Amino acid sequence: MAEMNDIAQRIDRLRKEIERHEHLYRIENLPEISDPEFDRLVKELEELEAEYPLFIQTDSPTHKVGDDRAPGFITVSHRVPMQSLDNTYNKEELFDFDKRLKRLLGDSDQEYLVEPKIDGLAINLIYEQGKFVQAITRGNGQQGDDVTANVRTIRTLPETLPGAEHIGLLEIRGEIYMSQEEFEWINAQREAEGLPKFMNPRNLASGTLKQLDPKVVAKRRLEVVCYGLGAVEGIEFTKQSQLREHFSSWGLPVVERSWCVSGIDSVWEAIEELDGIRGEFTYPTDGVVIKLNDLASQVEAGSTSKAPRWAISYKFAAEQAETLLKEITIQIGRTGALTPVAELEPVEIAGSKVSRATLHNEDEIQRKDVREGDWVVVEKAGEIIPAVVRVITSKRSLDSKPFNFPLRLEELGYDAVRVSGQVVWRLKSTENPVQLRRQIEHFASRQAMDIEGLGKEVVKQLVDHGLVRDIIDLYALRAEDLLGLDKFAEKSANNLIEAIARSRDADLWRFIHGLGIPLIGAEAAKLLSIRFGSMGALSQTRPEVLNSIDGIGPKMTESLVEYFSNQVNAERIQRLYQEAGLRMENQLEVPDETATLAGKTFVLTGTLPNWTRDQAKASIQAAGGKVTSSVSKKTSFVVAGSEAGSKLTKAQNLGITVLDEDQLKELLGES
């Protein structure tokens, strides 16, 4: 009986964890784990539910499509459900997929269509009499958000389909994505502004599509690829491969390559070929989609409640490596959250040395049974922090002991509590010196108040010597207070005091971000700064007003309300304004879209004689131009200095205009 209770609890925890990760991925666009890790959680739940059907629930995440619907959009029902695809990461499971179809359809080799899997978000495009009328996200598979106004900003999507005027209804299924070039440009802009970079193109594309203002969407160039059908009236198709031909003739964007093959062995050959060329595509790919080519056979094969039986996604595995987990340390965040970290014997993964990996939380350590001294498999997927995938138990020492998370916290002297209904442990007190250091480091960082000279080592000394016990203490420091610290002389002490003084006039968004309010990053801080104009107005606002702001979700609102209702936080802000003299006002300016170089893309290469690369970049961006890191057909100009390398050669081969420094200044109207 006790064993069955343990199984029931494990199933319940898995369901909650999967739903949490679904929300982070689809709504917040802030995934904590890689796709393979998420799929492993789902697979474990599927296996437990299959073995113990007593615990199956109709609303289990194994029986439904994840929901990406967001507040502020009209909900629309799909005529034909939009399902997700089953995933596999190995050849054996792919061949099992073929065996299942042969049992359903007969033993002869099936004809398959093999296409790149675009790493974006699914969309349903509706055309009536050849005219674009509506765009709906997948949502929960049955209903989605109407994002028509935002999708109309996609320049490559035609408003009318020539030759399709006689077709009453066409529901065209596709994927919205952001090109690597556009992603790099946006991140370059953010870096120039001192803002943190976005994690990856997929998350940025998803967040962009869910903006409530189409003007914001138009500034970030989204793209679309079309590959499937929903409801259709007025035309008939017999093969999946016919869609690409028709879509292309109508001017719809399609995948650059596809393979129509017979038999699963040929499918595998196509996958290997695609893997070799996928880096050349304009869109990010994370795998391959394999579909039955015959549409009648698709209908015969049918679907489960979640996915079609006639299609599967084969995902390319992230790079992994084996190494020794030497120790599990506890990292304190600026909000007091305690995160376990695996300290590793350094190992190379995806071209970089990895010596630390996240263990996420106590539940993940228990689920994977991770112990100090274990040999582990570490994975680095996309832009996500390296993570411990699994333990190699065959190499485990006989005297190994399970890791006890609460006991380790006790040994470290951390007075902490696990937050009810969550997986996170958090310090009860905000006076822990490590947490205080993290808060000050974040407050002073380039992405926040940008206090030059106030780095980690200086912050540690200030806290250890008792000179700073709160953020406000920074503004009471004097140069003589610093002279007793390591590496401080009169000049360096005065420089730091002056940098702290300058931060009093920092823009409001920097101050909001610097406070370290949970879930409020730099972009959200900018939205709040523009909307309210002052800290006083923001701190006194009502939840319903916050919820109405495009880009501020319910969880962000909850976090803001909780932060400002805390008396300690309210008093700190008041003292920073009244005693320390912080400005706390919005100073953001709206970019001029009619600027000289608006719409022009530049690449800088080599060393310029009189300008640093940052100076040149700032001047180009101030004139409305973009600066990207790679040369492509879309590049307008390449600015080349001495020792210019392959970028110059590529520009010459593509016939792109090459400028020297003087020509760039002339273009900018500068002497």
Instruction: Give the C-alpha separation, 631 to 43, whole Å.
Output: 42
Instruction: Give the C-alpha separation, 320 to 350, whole Å.
Output: 8
Q: Which long-range contacts (CB under 8 A, 24 or more apart) does 662-670 make?
A: 664/616, 664/619, 664/620, 664/637, 664/639, 667/596, 667/597, 667/637, 668/596, 668/597, 668/619, 668/620, 668/623, 669/596, 670/619
Which of 256, 259, 253, 183 lies closest to 225, judged by CA?
Answer: 253
Which of 326, 258, 265, 324 lies closest to 289, judged by CA?
Answer: 258
Instruction: Give the C-alpha separation, 65 to 48, whole Å.
Output: 19
Instruction: Give the C-alpha separation, 285 to 179, whole Å.
Output: 11
Instruction: Give the C-alpha separation, 25 to 34, whole Å.
Output: 10
Instruction: Indicate the residue type of 171.
Output: E
Judge residue 646's burial from the number of C-beta atoms within 10 Å of its C-beta, 0-12 exposed, 13-18 middle, 19 or more buried: exposed
3-state secondary structure of 49: helix
Give the sheet arrangement for strand 285-292, strand by strand: 87-88, 311-315, 285-292, 111-118, 259-262
**Catalytic entry in 16, 64, 102, 117:** 117
Instruction: Give the C-alpha separation, 204 to 382, whole Å.
Output: 14
Judge residue 510's burial from the number of C-beta atoms within 10 Å of its C-beta, 0-12 exposed, 13-18 middle, 19 or more buried: buried
Instruction: Give the C-alpha separation, 20 to 363, whole Å.
Output: 13
Distances (CA, A) of 651 to 635, 639, 654: 8, 10, 5
Contacts of 657 (CB under 8 A, 6+ apart): 636, 637, 638
- 124, 78 contact by CB (below 8 A): yes
- 535, 541 contact by CB (below 8 A): no
Backbone angles phi, psi at 159, to 5 degrees: -75, -30
Ordered alpha helix ranges (H), 580-637: 613-622
Tokens of 474: 């920074």
CA atoms within 13 A on the CB side of 349: 27
Backbone angles phi, psi at 454, to 5 degrees: -100, 70
Instruction: Give the C-alpha separation, 538 to 394, whole Å.
Output: 56
Tokens of 354: 């990895």
Judge residue 280's burial from the number of C-beta atoms within 10 Å of its C-beta, 0-12 exposed, 13-18 middle, 19 or more buried: exposed
Would you list the DSSP string of 420-436? TTSS-EEES-S--HHHH
647 is catalytic: no
- E strand or H helix that includes residue 319: strand 319-332
Tokens of 523: 């972009």
Tokens of 530: 């523009």
Residues annotated as catalytic are 117
